[in-house]
Amino acid sequence: MFDLLINGLQIVLAPSTFLLLFAGTFIGVIFGAMPGVSASMAVALALPFAYAMKPVIAIAFLVSVYCASITGGGITAILFKIPGTPSSAPTTFDGYPMAQRGEAGKALGYSLVASAIGGMVAAFAMALISPQLAAVALKFGPSELFAVSFLGLSVLSCLDSGNLIKTLISGLLGLALATVGMDPMLGIARFTWGNSTLLSGIEMIPVMIGLFAVTEVLKQTSKPKKIDAKAETGPGSSKTKTVLPSFKDIWETKSTMARSSILGTVVGILPGAGATIASFLSYAIEKKVSKKAHLLGTGIPDGIVAAEAANNAATGGSMVPLLSLGIPGGNAAAIMMTALVIKGVQVGPLLVKTQPDYLSSVFGSMFITNIVMVIVAMMIAKVFAKILAVPYSILGPVIVMLAAIGAYALNNNTGDVMLMAGAGIIGYMFVKLGYNSAALVLGLVLGQMCESNFRRAYTLANGDMVSIFTKPITAIIMISCVTMLVYPMIKPFIKKEKKA
Amino acid sequence: MKKVITLIVTLAMLVMAFAGCGKTASSAAPAPGSTPAESAEWKFERKIEIICPWGNGGGADTTARTFATALEKELGVPVVVNNKAGAGGVTGVEFATSQPADGYTFLLCTPSPLLAQVTGATDFDVYGKINPLTQLVHDCNILVASKDAPYNNYKELMEYVEANPGSVKAGVMSITGLDGACIEAAFGDKIEAVAYTEGAQLNADVIGNHVGLAVVGPAEVAAMVQSGDMKVIMSFTEKRLTMPGYENVEAAGEIGVESYFGPARGIFYANGTPEGAIKAFEAAAEKAVASEGFQAWAKTEGLDQRPGWKNTADYKAAWDADYQDFVAMFGKK
């Protein structure tokens, strides 16, 4: 086991390889920070470079791009409320309020350290207990995956306890939007009204950019005081510098860090889930179990840690089924597999056994990238933070323009830009009327996973509902879901009873 | 005051986004009529995009990417693959036809979306809107099961299904696609197909014993078959496969099961694409497919089992024949 770690470091610390990893980290962070370029797209964009490399080096390079891009997404999420990758959306919940208070540097610091720790935990898990983790992943069939996505949805009841009904309505609206497009099982068009953009479903990224970035610009411009205040004391004027939290500060978030890193790793290995679902789920669970749950969403470091540790841990997780079974755990892993197949290497358990260099290089790359990435991201964040000094009257329209480009870049499709603009306006109405955009995104993200897995489980069990929900893993997860859903609603009554 | 100006500018940008979108959509229509380089020798001047209607890492995607790499060398311009997965390929086909037909967007396609149209799963006119250009490869489908499955071949499978009706289901990548047709043609109503949207999840569900069978391509599961986590029950081909490890796998042809569907993957173009671009693409594609890199890859992927390359005329004939077959077999009564 020790050999594997040493061997991995030997491979990636060779000067030429290290330079490549550094370059990979650099482009990864930048691609990740761009709205509309998701982590898997960043890997795909880096693919042509990898073709010229030796297979062992190529996979190390692609892994570094992948890990770094997930981290890069957090930078714009904190500074501008634009999640650079979908998996950074929950980072905005606490990161952006902190940035608004003038604590952008601190927020970035927490985000980078949490990313690095989450990534490291997953890297070690992948290197040391890959076969065992893969065996766990295989226990998750359609019914279990349905339960996992339902667990994510159950958090709807506590995203905003003051406004339960409106939050639930927002979440259900998200679920409804997830049904638009081709039916995942039968391929029949639903709610498309003949529109070609809608046929492929409501894309998550444009909706997210619209709801978060565009809504924020509309909100800022209609609140004049904030703009003036910003110029005086906001992050714009005070030179934003990433401040790495002290060891003591990190230690205070230790339980969140541990829970999120482990959860992220496990969700990462499940085929069909990924970094986005990991970070939402992690944030959702923190909202339930954290001691500071009532402060989550107001701008506390724990919220950033929950999201960023989990989404980076998912990167390591997604490599587990690839290396131990030959099944890519996510889109980015699938692209890496393609790259190796084209080079004539068949990724799978036999490869890892006969040529342990591959596992070593993936591990070594993750190890080094997670360290190098903190430094690189600090440099890049500094450049991005300079943009904040621009007056909001100019910055606002620029953000809207960037949002439009991001939405367009996704599929080179103008329909997505319209979707983004529509989502921005709906998001503004949500803010005014007290509905919850985060709940809507949650419904949209988990909706299809929830639906298709439930229907798959239903068909596989010949319509026997009892046998679906009595599978041990499914049953346990579903019981905790129901507890989570019902408890906040009956809590007030229980307290009243006690008083009476 | 600043606030008002900013608000106006912001709204103006949003309106422009809307207006901009509207414009592109409407101006795309008359473009094909006024193609300038119709008669002259066509020269590709910028990036060519190949839309792949299936996700990253699958057989279709790998084919598209290997072909793109080889084609790039022939044409001297970048050839990029853009994955637009969903709805058994219809989403990607639909997307490709919504792009300007200027000779810079092509589509990788298989008969699956065509079948979706014939069965009525989609209203989209696949047959009418895209045209075959060149066939690249003709893959075969195989039927796999977990190593723990209580059957090892077709005969044992059928005995097991007779004894335990309804207990075995087959995972397919899209119920309206060719995989579903394989199951339908081979087993009728004895084995039901269950649709998956991600190949990774399907493979994991087979190994994890959540679904009894799966219709897959040999390349996608090569690692799992090699490691012994999966076993091959049969191949949906006329003759036994000649790849190593498949010596004892029965072919549909020898056990009297008439189900030979396999993804024939090729390049398509949308209506209105300039004639010059089509001719130039066909010539370059022939060289790309014949190139050493592409052929070597085809061999490792087991794509040398059936002849792959077809030129525009032959491919058109095969595509029309497929359409007639599908209408006869699955057409809405």
Pairing of strands B142-146, B192-195: unpaired
- pLDDT at residue A173 is higher than 90: yes
Interface test with B, best of A146, A183, A341, A358 (most B CBs within 10 A): A341
For residues B49 and B37, what is the distance between their CA atoms, to the nearest angstrom? 19
In this prediction, residue B148 carries a pLDDT of 92
Question: Nearest-CA neighbor of B230 among B171, B146, B142?
Answer: B146
- The 10s digit of each residue's pLDDT in A416-447 is 899 999 999 999 999 899 898 888 988 888 88
Q: How much is the mean pLDDT over chain A?
A: 84
Contacts with A321 from chain B: Cβ below 8 Å = 200, 204
Contacts with B170 from chain A: Cβ below 8 Å = none
- Band of the pLDDT at A94, cuts 50, 70, 90? very high
User: Do A260 and A275 meet the contact criterion of CB atoms below 8 Å apart?
Assistant: no
Contacts with B229 from chain A: Cβ below 8 Å = 325, 349
Q: Is A51 on the interface with B (CB under 8 A)?
A: yes
Q: Which of B13, B82, B88 sits opposite A400 (nearest CB)?
A: B13
Q: Which of B25, B57, B124 sits opposite A328 (nearest CB)?
A: B57
Which tokens go with A417?
A: 């830009």
> What sign does the CA torsion over A332, A335, A341, A343 have?
negative
Q: Do A460 and B210 touch (CB under 8 A)?
A: yes
A370 or A386, which is more confident? A370
Q: How far is A405 from chain B (nearest CA, A)?
A: 10
For residues A424 and A430, what is the distance between their CA atoms, to the nearest angstrom? 10
Q: What number of other Cβ atoms are within 10 A of residue B245's Cβ?
A: 13
For residues A321 and B279, what is the distance between their CA atoms, to the nearest angstrom? 44
Q: Report the percent of chain A where pLDDT is more than 70.
A: 93
- The 10s digit of each residue's pLDDT in A222-253 is 875 444 434 434 444 445 677 788 888 888 88
Q: Is B194 on the interface with A (CB under 8 A)?
A: yes
In this prediction, residue B37 carries a pLDDT of 44
Q: Is B80 on the interface with A (CB under 8 A)?
A: no
Q: Is B56 on the interface with A (CB under 8 A)?
A: yes
- The 10s digit of each residue's pLDDT in A446-498 is 888 899 899 999 989 888 888 888 888 999 989 988 887 777 677 777 766 66
Q: How far is B268 from chain A (nearest CA, A)?
A: 19
Q: How far is B40 from chain A (nearest CA, A)?
A: 29
In this prediction, residue A231 carries a pLDDT of 41
Please name the residue of chain B whose CA is at the shortest distance from the CA of residue A197: B95
For residues A284 and A306, what is the distance between their CA atoms, to the nearest angstrom? 9
Q: How far is B289 from chain A (nearest CA, A)?
A: 15
- pLDDT at residue B222 is higher than 90: no
Q: Do A396 and B166 touch (CB under 8 A)?
A: no
Q: Report the percent of chain B where pLDDT is more than 70.
A: 83
- Residue A7: φ, ψ to 5°: -60, -45
Q: Do B229 and A325 touch (CB under 8 A)?
A: yes
Q: Is B5 on the interface with A (CB under 8 A)?
A: yes
A246 torsion bin: left (phi>0), alpha (psi -120 to 50), beta (else): beta
Q: Do B6 and A393 touch (CB under 8 A)?
A: yes
Interface of B with A in 226-265 (CB under 8 A): 226-227, 229
Interface of A with B in 366-425 (CB under 8 A): 392-393, 396-397, 400-401, 404, 411-415, 417-418, 420-421, 424-425
In this prediction, residue B175 carries a pLDDT of 62
User: Do B172 and B194 meet the contact criterion of CB atoms below 8 Å apart?
Assistant: yes
Q: Which of B57, B224, B300 sits opposite A337 (nearest CB)?
A: B57
Interface test with A, best of B7, B14, B299, B301 (most A CBs within 10 A): B14
Q: How far is B77 from chain A (nearest CA, A)?
A: 14
Q: Is A297 on the interface with B (CB under 8 A)?
A: no
Please name the residue of chain B whose CA is at the shortest distance from the CA of residue A399: B10
Q: Do A321 and B204 touch (CB under 8 A)?
A: yes
pTM of the model: 0.79
Contacts with B28 from chain A: Cβ below 8 Å = none
Q: How much is the mean pLDDT over chain B?
A: 81
For residues B295 and B303, what is the distance between their CA atoms, to the nearest angstrom? 9
- The 10s digit of each residue's pLDDT in B74-125 is 888 888 888 876 666 777 888 888 888 888 899 999 888 888 788 776 778 8
Q: Is A238 on the interface with B (CB under 8 A)?
A: no
